[in-house]
Amino acid sequence: MNRIKALGQAGQSIWLDFMQRNLVTTGELQGLIQNDGIAGLTSNPTIFQKAVEASQDYDDLFTKMASEGKTVVQVYDALTLRDIQDAARIFHPVWESTQHRDGYCSLEVSPKLARDTKGSIEEARRLWKALGAPNVMIKIPGTPEGVPAIEQCISEGININVTLLFSQEAYVTVAEAYLRGLERRAKEGKPVAELASVASFFVSRIDSEVEKRIGKARAASADERRSRLFEALMGKVAIANAKLAYRRYQALFSGARWDTLAKQGAHPQRVLWASTGTKNPKYSDVLYVEELVGKDTVNTIPPATLDAFRDHGKVRQSLTEDVPGAEVTMRTLEEAGISMKAVTDTLVEEGVQKFAESFDELFKAIGERLRAHGGKV
């Protein structure tokens, strides 16, 4: 069997972590659905930035909007909405055939709103209405300010992809926001069966940050015992963290509270593994796919990692393997003097900043392309 499709057979949905216009225009996206069983798509400001800078596929849009005197903001809106709407149309049969479990395409609110609850709600409403498709998700960061926005949007019937999650505690917080949103909606007598949400748990960045801190600690101390602890942690923390987050998912979406909502047709907010491309060349290029296979989860995979897994990936129910060992890894991290809270707090701040920077670079790239097509910026 196709190795990507085998992941689906194991109960995990595979979404594509990439968007570029030619995916739609060349039929490549349709091919990925048919040949690999790709079941959804995610985007973010960095993905769109690279697409605009690297591709000529948007020339028609730039020419048209330059002639109409449109602004950079208007072009950005038109470009992203068109791409996600077209992708959603291609995925609509997947959405139907999976009874609304999959087939979703995600578009993010401005990362400038990561600390703005009211602004995030208003922008999510605007994008949801503008996209006008039942199989789209609006991405809102799982920051403290994003949590009430997530609950409010769910209560209004807006599908939400919660992004930039790193810690188990933050995951639990957003999962509970999802549950509260569903409960509010049910209390008002509104349907909950059409709603969908995922919680995007970023993976590889955790190992990168831990390794950075290990490097600094090693440079500052030659303690042999700590060195042994450090060695035991290399390439292990992100996966251990994910396994424990998955255990929390299983607990949150079971029991009396969840059963009440499930009887009304509610879908669980699945954990989505994001940032699953391997950054450290010493590790397997399919590490964060092979080690994160579990039922009722999603893995959104960049194209290069997808190609690698199709070539040599192996499928097993890895998320439920040696969970006690994952607990040992997290204890070892603290014993080695590295705070997981400090790691995840740093990653949230960096993530917000990096997406904001990509957003600025995207607007800059759009401005340059608009000028090149005769527009006035």
CA dihedral over 320, 297, 247, 290, signed as positive or negative: positive
The β-bridge partners of 239 are none
Unique residue bearing structure tokens 């057979």: 9
Alpha-carbon distance of 78 to 47, in angstroms, equals 16
CB 114 within 8 A of CB 147: no
Active site residues: 139
Cβ contacts of 27 within 8 Å, gap of 6 or more: none
SS3 category, 254:
coil
Burial class of 63 by CB neighbour count within 10 A (0 to 12, 13 to 18, 19+): middle
The β-bridge partners of 17 are 42
Alpha-carbon distance of 136 to 372, in angstroms, equals 32
Residue 353 φ/ψ, nearest 5 degrees:
-65, -45
